[in-house]
Amino acid sequence: MTSFPTSGPLHIACLCAQWCVICRSYESLFQQMATEEPVHAWHWIDIEDHEDALPGIDIETFPTIVILNHEGEFCFAGTVEPRPDMLKRLVQSAHTGHLQLSARDAAPWTPVKALLGLG
Confidence class of residue 8 from pLDDT cuts 50, 70 and 90? confident
Neighbouring-strand partners of residue 76: 67
Q: Which amino acid is at 101?
A: L
35 in a structural domain: yes
Task: At 40, give phi and psi (nearest 5°).
Answer: -95, 160
Q: What is the pLDDT of residues 35-82, one digit of tens each?
A: 999 999 999 999 999 988 988 788 888 999 999 999 999 999 999 999
Mean pLDDT to the nearest integer, 96-107: 94
34 in a structural domain: yes
What pLDDT sits at residue 4? 45
Q: How many domains does the chain have?
A: 1
- Which domain range does residue 56 map to? 11-115
3 in a structural domain: no
100 in a structural domain: yes
**CA–CA separation, 80 vs 103, rounded Å?**
21
Residue 22 burial class via C-beta count within 10 angstroms: exposed 0-12, middle 13-18, buried 19 and up? middle
80 in a structural domain: yes
5 in a structural domain: no
6 in a structural domain: no
**CA–CA separation, 111 vs 1, rounded Å?**
26
- Would you say residue 21 has pLDDT above 60? yes
**CA–CA separation, 119 vs 102, rounded Å?**
17
What pLDDT sits at residue 98? 93
